Structure 1
Amino acid sequence: MSKTPKLIQSIERAVALLEIIAHQGGAARLKDLAVISGLGKTTAHNILQTLEQLGYVHRRLGDMNYYLGGRILNLSRIVGNDYVFRDKMRPVLERIARESGATVYFAVPSGDKAAYVDIVDLKDPLFAASRLHDREKLEGSSVGLVFLAFVPGLGKRVLATRANALSKNILLEIENVRIKGYALDLESYRPGINAVAIPWRESSGEVRSSIALSGPAAELPRQRLIQLAWMMMKHVASANLEGSRSVFGKTI
């Protein structure tokens, strides 16, 4: 007869809190979490602070609820719906690629890196296929700046653990991305290559992915990238509007 393994209490408690948040519809207050779990408020709060620092829960400004964080949602994404996600966004990526003439990327957070779920390169499809599911660091890229600016907890975690790898003006750059709604990469990630990225939001308003385009710096100077950012936003807004008019594939 196999011996019952010894359980680590702190892990049991952390998992219980995550499950309670999920069962409460993805959001729950500290008071309710403590009552349902049977933990003291101080204990529950300390565990939640640790989970928040690690990116498994997060809180929104002015909101008392704890929400499931991007890091735990990424785990479910990795095992389940990458292809569904990709298929949903493919028409948007193709429209952006045709209008810009650039290579277009659809990226999602993967741990503390970015993973490419889809790439559209109308001139070189083989290049696009070779880069699929590549995971790259966030530092220096336009996609990385979008995730640092908009994915709850990720920016704080990367700044705390990899601050030396980031530019001296990173906090200002992140704030500019939040204000403008797009991020520029002017040969920061790869010499001779410029890029621009925008966030893509789910219906809840949470940023779960980023759309970017890149190409030779000579063909995509700063002003051109800014114009393309607005074009990308227009296509994303149009796609979101079309999606909101449809329920289970039927127009409403």
Structure 2
Amino acid sequence: MEHGEKNVRVVQSVQRAFDLLERIAVQPEGAKLSELADGAGLNRSTAHNLLASLEALGYIAQDRKGAAYRLTGKVNRLQRLDAEAERALRLRLRPVLQAVSQASGESTFLGLVSGMDYLCVDAVLSNKPLHLAVRPGERKPLVVEALGHALLATDPELAETVRGDDPDAWNLHAREIVEAAKLGFALDLDSQNAGISCVAVAVTLRSAIAVAGPTSRLPKARLIKIGEKIRQELDAVRPANQEWL
């Protein structure tokens, strides 16, 4: 079918699927099949097939068969934070990065969820001759490193999406992610990059802070202490009675 002044061809099934997503999004408690079908002008069978596809892809969910459909967190993970929100978070967390880097003597950085990766958006580098030179703009898979493990351990929906996207990589790191959920922080003890160890703490479902450096300076006991220091500094700047964003 044709749509719009620019004569852009819109695939009808895609248009209908997004229409259903938008209708679910404006219902805080979700919406049932009959309500969605009637509102979109679709027969129940067509609406059910579209909804089943969206559910299989992980964008919507039902608590039980016949219950209302609701959005999952996967929709939010399609994009980064908007520019103003990201800037506000970076400004609020910059003193934490500086304090933790000074206390630990190691490079400290902030990463945000970006699809199946995390994106480094701010960093304070160690002034020691031998240090991890992480830079804003660097991107790494969530399932591979400690910062990603901290985020996966905090957000079950994100974890389920990543596990479905790359089950082999997930199986390689599943034990570390489970351990991160138990401890409240993730550790990388010289396992991903030879000679480098790391500790990471989730700040929100979509952001985490990590400290990394030479394994010779970062045995497990020291990493745990640094993890505790990150938490202390976060508590010192955490907004009172409100969310980070």
Query: TM-score range with shorter-chain normalisation?
Result: 0.7 to 0.9
Percent identity, aligned pairs only, is 28
Say whether 1:172 aligns with 2:175: yes
Following superposition, the deviation at residue 46 of structure 1 comes to: 0.8
Cα distance in 1 between the residues matched to 2:228 and 2:61: 29
Contact 1:119 1:128 in 2 (8 A): no
Following superposition, the deviation at residue 65 of structure 1 comes to: 6.5
- Counterpart mapping for 1:39-118 below 5 A: 40=44, 42-43=48-49, 45-52=51-58, 56-57=59-60, 66-75=70-79, 77=81, 81-118=85-122
- Counterpart mapping for 1:65-214 below 5 A: 66-75=70-79, 77=81, 81-123=85-127, 131-166=135-170, 168=172, 170-201=173-204, 207-214=205-212
| Unmatched segments (≥5 aa) in structure 2 | none
Contact 1:116 1:132 in 2 (8 A): yes
CA RMSD, aligned part only?
A: 3.4
Specify which of 17, 22, 29 is matched with residue 19 of structure 1: 22
Compared with structure 1, are the counterparts of its residues 94 and 164 closer, same or farther at alpha carbon in structure 2 (3 Å cutoff)?
A: same
Specify which of 200, 213, 216 is matched with residue 218 of structure 1: 216
1:147 is paired with a residue of what secondary structure?
helix
Cα distance in 1 between the residues matched to 2:151 and 2:242: 28
Give 1:92's aligned amino acid. Answer: V
Give 2:52's aligned amino acid. Answer: N
Cα distance in 2 between the residues matched to 1:113 and 1:3: 35
Cα distance in 2 between the residues matched to 1:193 and 1:45: 45
Q: Which residue of 1 aligns with 2:231?
A: 233
Give 1:196's aligned amino acid. Answer: V
Give 2:235's aligned amino acid. Answer: A
Bigger radius of gyration among the two:
2
Following superposition, the deviation at residue 85 of structure 1 comes to: 2.5
TM-score, scaled relative to structure 2: 0.77
TM-score, scaled relative to structure 1: 0.75
1:238 is paired with a residue of what secondary structure?
helix
1:69 is paired with a residue of what secondary structure?
coil
